[in-house]
Structure 1
């Protein structure tokens, strides 16, 4: 399975499972200590996302996951979309 497919599967599993069944994976982003006073409504505290990522998602409604889709796939989709 490709790296992008693995990441997509992980995201889908995160959305489909209860918090107790999610396996935490370390992230590649820099870690920092953040204490948020309000309870975040749209994400679980599972160590899959950093507190910074969770807060960004809560405020903006999306996350940018770099390298989720390979450049090769993007080019292929771009060509198909132009037809």
Structure 2
């Protein structure tokens, strides 16, 4: 059997199930946030419609990620790990 990506069925087997060795997301949560921002700015879409188009829950888009807040308890640890 040919590789699912090459055949164009996007990793779905004939039974309709995703094979267990393909665990990946099309867009990361940060990429989805940026995509929603782009749709709002460039195309003038409403926030709700842009979230729906990207596949992100409107409530999670509006929520500020914990890592971006001043109250992030792990900010220093993350900075240390990145250096």
Query: Higher helix fraction: Structure 1 or Structure 2?
Result: 2
From the CA coordinates, give the structure whose radius of gyration is larger. 2
- Structure with more contact order per residue of length (Cα contacts < 8 Å, sep ≥ 6): 1
**Alignment TM-score, normalising by the size of structure 1:** 0.29
**Alignment TM-score, normalising by the size of structure 2:** 0.29
